[in-house]
């Protein structure tokens, strides 16, 4: 009887240990990524004058005249510019609102400002 209880406890313990999977890191939530979306404009003479950051099905992308790349969140407001092996660091103002971005790819650094959203339609 003792052996049977011991065997039962061992099976239950092993099942409990196996049930505790290592937690997977959570993907950034779509609503928190939405704050980065919009159009960013860069000074005249820059290799890129405009970048549009969009979010579709949880995937954030940046599109410019140079093409489209995925932006993968690394930490805080810093994202990996996947196709170009660079970084995009978003800047905030005193109200914690995204107001600009610094993109670094190789030895090129681009400083852009977030374009104001168009006025809401009157109705």
pLDDT tens figures, 13-54: 444 444 444 454 444 555 689 999 999 999 999 999 999 999
Residue 107 located in a structural domain = yes
Q: Read off the pLDDT of each residue in 81-97 and give the average, rounded to a whole number.
A: 96
Looking up tokens 């954030």, which residue turns up?
60
pLDDT band at 87 (very low <50, low <70, confident <90, very high): very high
Residue 115 has pLDDT above 50, yes or no: yes
Residue 48 located in a structural domain = yes
- The pLDDT, as a whole number, for residue 112 is 97
Count Cβ atoms below 10 Å from residue 65 Cβ, excluding itself. Answer: 9
For residue 11, the surrounding DSSP H or E stretch is: helix 2-19
Residue 36 located in a structural domain = yes
Contact of 12 with 85, CB cutoff 8 Å: no
59-78 pLDDT per residue, tens: 999 999 989 999 999 999 99
Helix, strand or coil, per DSSP, at residue 36: helix
Looking up tokens 């949880």, which residue turns up?
58
Residue 71 located in a structural domain = yes
Q: Read off the pLDDT of each residue in 78-107 and give the average, rounded to a whole number.
A: 96
Domain count, the chain: 1
Q: Is the pTM of the predicted complex or chain greater than 0.75?
A: no
Q: Read off the pLDDT of each residue in 100-109 and give the average, rounded to a whole number.
A: 96
Residue 51 located in a structural domain = yes
Contact of 88 with 71, CB cutoff 8 Å: yes
Angle at 116 between CA 110 and CA 119, to 5 degrees: 160
pLDDT band at 116 (very low <50, low <70, confident <90, very high): confident
pLDDT band at 57 (very low <50, low <70, confident <90, very high): confident
78 lies in which domain range? 30-114
Beta strands in 1-122 (DSSP E): 38-41, 50-56, 59-64, 67-75, 78-81, 86-92, 98-105, 108-114
């Amino acid at each position: 009887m003792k052996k049977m209880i011991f065997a039962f406890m061992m099976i239950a313990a092993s099942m409990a240990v196996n049930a505790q999977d290592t937690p997977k890191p959570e993907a950034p939530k779509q609503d928190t990524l939405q704050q980065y979306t919009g159009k960013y404009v860069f000074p005249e003479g820059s290799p890129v004058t405009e970048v549009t950051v969009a979010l579709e099905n949880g995937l954030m992308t940046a599109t410019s005249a140079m093409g489209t790349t995925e932006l993968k969140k690394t930490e805080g407001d810093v994202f990996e510019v996947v196709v170009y092996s660079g970084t995009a660091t978003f800047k905030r103002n005193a109200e914690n609102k995204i107001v600009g971005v610094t993109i670094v790819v190789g030895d090129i650094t681009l400083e852009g400002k977030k374009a104001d959203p168009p006025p809401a339609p009157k109705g």
